[in-house]
Amino acid sequence: MSVLVTGGTGFVGTHVVAQLASLGERVVALSAEGELDEAARDFLGQALAKVTCVRADVLDLGTLREVMENHVVDRVIHGAAVTAIGDLESEAARSAALVNVGGTATVLEAARLAGVTRFIHLSSASVYGATDPAVPLEETAPLAPSGIYGITKRAGEEVVRRYFELFGISGVILRLSAPYGPLERPNPLRTVMSPVFDWCRAALDGDEVELADDLERDLTYVADTARCIVLALRKRHLKYPVYNASFGENLRFSDILTALARVRPGFRFRWKEGGSLSPFFRASLRGPLSMKRAREELGFEPRYDIGRGLGRYLEWLEHHPL
């Protein structure tokens, strides 16, 4: 038996694949690229022996069924998505709708026909839309996404919920919030980087960062994100249909940069008057995700605070120059 991870060669997907393989699971990493790059293979190390990479389109039902049959897939983690945010939204609106909604339905149908025993759908905190940053978001909070990415992720959730109801599929939806850390770097399929990537690169290059807007976000070290996903996959009984998966606390950009200065002595940042909102977080200020469900039901507790997470990310970036 094996676990299929769609988007398995991407940023979060590779971390999920690595953790599963390190636990002895046989993993099929399915993606449009069909292979892990050198940095990802190095990251997996000996766990790579447990991983099979497959190139496939999540809209291709026939190929998905063939992959599941050939590799005896009994569990699925669906993470493949088009992250149409910021300046990319207008360029990728159609592909986001096709992949994030149509691709989700296609993977669900293949999983149903294969008789999978567990389906984990990776959604996003963007489904909550803009909210009061001071108020934590429970999973029962209203959903009001504005951008195409959040809209398609919400639509994908509705398709997942209905498939679960219609066909009795055992599974959950996990809402992820702003993962950062090793393996986040530019590549042909990931052109929009988080501010954390830009700041860490500046710290390593000796550049000063100009901070125009002291926004805030619930950042999550990617290894914690992956661990929450794996816990949900392996939990025998799941009480709720949706779980948040994040650190559970908003941090101001200035606090993140201050932490970066502590772990990278000599790093500097300064305020710049008259700036505009960062494109990555445009119109998306929101409260931190409540982690009560994940703590109580999945046994999840984040292991990386911002200082430790930044330190590990800087170490990885130093050994993997772009």
Q: For residue 248, what are its two tokens?
A: 């559970």
Q: Which amino acid, residue 184?
A: E
Residues 101-126, mean pLDDT to the nearest whole number? 98
pLDDT in tens, 49-84: 999 999 999 999 999 999 999 999 999 999 999 987
Coil, helix or strand at residue 2: strand
Interatomic CA distance for residues 297 and 319, integer angstroms: 37
- Per residue in 247-256, pLDDT (tens digit) is 999 999 999 9
90 within 8 A of 282, measured Cβ to Cβ = no
CA distance 232 to 174: 9
What is the topology classification, in CATH, of domain 2-180+219-248+290-296?
Rossmann fold (3.40.50)
Query: Looking at residue 91, what is its pLDDT?
Result: 80
Say how far apart CA 117 and CA 75 lie, in whole Å. Answer: 6
Band (pLDDT 50/70/90 cuts) for residue 277 is low
Pull the structure tokens for residue 322.
Answer: 């772009």
Residue among 58, 48, 56, 52 nearest 22 (CA): 48
Residue 78's pLDDT is what? 98
Q: Looking at residue 263, what is its pLDDT?
A: 97
Tokens 């993962």 — which residue?
Answer: 179
| Other Cβ atoms closer than 10 A to 92 | 18
**Mean pLDDT in residue range 299-303:** 97
Tell me phi and psi for residue 240, to 5 degrees.
-115, 155
Between CA 313 and CA 99 the distance in angstroms is 29
Q: Are 147 and 202 in contact (CB under 8 A)?
A: no
pTM: predicted TM-score of the whole model, two decimal places: 0.95
